Amino acid sequence: MRFVPRRPVLLLAASALAISLAAPSLAQEAPAEAPAEAQAPEPNGDPQVPPIVIEDAEAPETPEVAPIPAEWTPIPLDARGRSAFGLYLAGRNALTSGESAAGADYLARVYALTPEQPRVREQAFTAALLAGDLDEAGRIAPTDPEVSPALLQAGRLVEAVQTYVRGDARRADALLTTAPVGAPHDRAGFYVQGWIAAAAKDWDRALALPPADFDPVSVLVARGNRARLLEQRRRYDEADAEWRDLTSHALAGALFRLPYGEFLERRGRRDEALVQYDAAVTAGTADRRIREGRERVLAKARPPALPSFRASAAQALRTAADQMIAQRAYEFGAVYLRLAQNLDPSDNTQLLIGQTLIQGGIEPAGRAALAQVSPRSPSAYAAARIQTAISLGKIDRDDEALAELRRAAAVSPDEVSIAYMLASQLMQMKRYEEALALLDAPLLNTADQGFEVHFLRGAAYEALDRDKEAEAELWTALQMQPDNPTLLNYLGYLWVDTGTRVAEGAAMIARAHAADPSDGNIQDSLGWAQFRQGQYDAAVANLEGAVDKEPANAEINDHLGDAYWAVGRTREAGFQWNRVLTLDVDAQRKAEVEAKLRDRLGQDPTGDKGLGNAGGAVD
């Protein structure tokens, strides 16, 4: 079939680009954990972290928890005369609609009216976490032991960190001493407690060794934090010994070369720092910061400053967030990132908050977070605009997605990947001339352009009925990727549909279908090739399968109607053609289908949504 905008292809390309434009990996101290299987235990034996869930209002209460009364006398009302019941229902409705900020506001008002209700407090706390109102979350953190440990311990963590954010390190340290943060937030609690304790001048707690039951990855992270704290305490020999041991680790040593190199620079040991940076370059693990460190040493420039306690605490929370995200506990990963952002604001952290919320399926909140990334950080801003465009594209808000991509292109005008995505979005919106103008511009039309650019240009030519130019571009792309099923399908379909090289095109489509049998568009091409060769029974079988996979595609339904007509199944043909008229169909195809119904069946086109076969024969 002809060009079909492929959102998954755009999403994959954009996700890779967003990663490349974002800050370097924030978990520098330890390797990322492999995503856990749904039921697999974590390395320390704890179960997988549960997601944040807003429970049903009707969920049964334990005997110790007072239920929300069936009647209040008098009914609690706010200053505007709104009842607690109404506010509660409005809050839950907002949360289920993805409007986390509004939901949190409503539930906070309910809690203010009904502070005696533990369930309301728990749900108001959860909503505040999702909305990112961590001051409110810390204020109303649940203390009831019957509350889920994931929420109870999150409350302890948030309360302590927000207390430190407000400048009271001693009280934050006391909170963590009196009620240490337990599982599943024990890693984050331990990582951050060292920095809070140091700020409170509680150095015994700051330099405590990690718990014996920590998993190996978390032990390495904790030791990296301890090495930094030893430097802060001016116990340089101990810090050096810790870094040397960490960099000698067989698997994770490479991740500690950067912080050790920076430590060595601050100690005036440039030659030794260069050894660390060169080792990373030789091993192929050097990122931008390693390369900058190497250039700094060679230029004998000033070493990097020792990070503040707050900045280091934020880094520790970002690392804990990486670990939570690796466990697919996206909501709590976002909470850690918000805490880090409160401690040490940066556009890169704000970008990660938005990306993490979107990964967790909380897309409106994710888009709201991404909107706060400033254009003062061009790479983070471009990545945020791209991620927002992808999210908007999923819900068919194409004009807004296009505007976001244009903003990304404005701050990164020389970024090839953004220009390609912009052209892809224009193709998605059937603005082929504009897409072609971008594809033919110097940024994309280069001697070393990739097969993707040739393919997209070929698809644009084909959509504009410039078949010879389309054939040339698709053929060039195919020479670069000879086994790519998408390329085989598009060029093969072009040959079949124009009748120029039907047999050769059919063979290419068959190869594409064998490589990707789940793709309904390719199966449609195969069925249509069989139809064009007079293999009508085989065409019917494949086109029925294609409609099963792509039931809302007007072209595939039209093809199936033609195949039914060819084998004498006129009633089913009429159903399929009428179905086409209920779908998103262009004016040319609409006129052609109406003519078939009128001329072949003597019908006035109905466009009846109740008619038609969504896949398969009608008895």
Helix, coil or strand: residue 11: helix
Contact between 565 and 573 (Cβ < 8 Å): yes
pLDDT at 596: 96
Q: How confident is the model at residue 36 (pLDDT cuts 50, 70, 90)?
A: very low
Residue 441 has pLDDT above 60, yes or no: yes
Residue among 366, 52, 45 at smallest CA distance from 216 = 45
* Percent of the chain scoring above 90 in pLDDT: 72
Residue 53 has pLDDT above 80, yes or no: no
pLDDT at 90: 73
Residue 606, amino acid: T
Pairwise CA distance, residues 196 & 174, whole Å? 10
Low-confidence winner among 91-100, 153-162, 210-219, 458-467 (lowest mean pLDDT): 91-100
Contact between 27 and 357 (Cβ < 8 Å): no
Arithmetic mean of pLDDT, 330-356: 97
Low-confidence winner among 1-15, 112-126, 232-246, 453-467 (lowest mean pLDDT): 1-15
What's the helix, strand, coil split of the chain in %, to 5? 65, 0, 35
Instruction: Find residue 83's DSSP bridge partners.
Output: 77
Q: How confident is the model at residue 3 (pLDDT cuts 50, 70, 90)?
A: low
The values of phi and psi at residue 83, to 5°, are: -80, 155
pLDDT at 96: 67
Contact between 312 and 187 (Cβ < 8 Å): no
Here the tokens at position 383 are 């990545």
Arithmetic mean of pLDDT, 407-417: 97
Pairwise CA distance, residues 233 & 312, whole Å? 14
**Chain centre to alpha carbon of residue 483:** 29
Pairwise CA distance, residues 585 & 595, whole Å? 15
Contact between 122 and 134 (Cβ < 8 Å): no
Here the tokens at position 127 are 């909503």
Residue 6 has pLDDT above 50, yes or no: no
Arithmetic mean of pLDDT, 50-61: 42
Residue 64 has pLDDT above 70, yes or no: no
Residue 607, amino acid: G
pLDDT at 133: 85
Q: Chain-wide mean pLDDT for the chain?
A: 86
Residue 257 has pLDDT above 80, yes or no: yes
Q: Could you read off the pLDDT of 572-604 as tens digits, one per residue? A: 999 999 999 999 999 999 999 999 999 999 988
Here the tokens at position 160 are 């302590």
Q: How confident is the model at residue 7 (pLDDT cuts 50, 70, 90)?
A: very low
Arithmetic mean of pLDDT, 31-47: 35
Pairwise CA distance, residues 525 & 493, whole Å? 6
Instruction: Calculate helix-pair angle for 416-428, 432-439, nearest 10 degrees.
Output: 160
DSSP codes joined into one string, 131-195: HT-HHHHHHT----TTS-HHHHHHHHHHHHHHHHHTT-HHHHHHHHHHS---TTSHHHHHHHHHH
Name residue, tokens 């704890």.
46
Residue 43 has pLDDT above 50, yes or no: no
Q: How confident is the model at residue 389 (pLDDT cuts 50, 70, 90)?
A: very high
The values of phi and psi at residue 200, to 5°, are: -90, 5
Residue 161 has pLDDT above 70, yes or no: yes
Residue 184 has pLDDT above 60, yes or no: yes
Question: What 8-state DSSP symbol labels residue 77?
Answer: B
Arithmetic mean of pLDDT, 115-144: 82
Pairwise CA distance, residues 65 & 438, whole Å? 63
- The architecture that CATH gives domain 486-601 is Alpha Horseshoe (1.25)
Contact between 389 and 408 (Cβ < 8 Å): yes
Residue 173 has pLDDT above 60, yes or no: yes
pLDDT at 81: 74
pLDDT at 113: 75
What is the three-state SS of 241-280?
Answer: HHHHHHHCCCCCHHHHHHHHHHHHHHCCCHHHHHHHHHHH
Pairwise CA distance, residues 340 & 325, whole Å? 15
Name residue, tokens 């004498």.
568
Handedness of CA 44, 48, 49, 50 (dihedral sign): negative
* Percent of the chain scoring above 70 in pLDDT: 84
Here the tokens at position 478 are 């195919």
Q: Could you read off the pLDDT of 510-536 as tens digits, one per residue? A: 999 999 999 999 999 999 999 999 999
Pairwise CA distance, residues 170 & 593, whole Å? 76
Residue 608 has pLDDT above 70, yes or no: no
Low-confidence winner among 140-149, 157-166, 495-504 (lowest mean pLDDT): 140-149
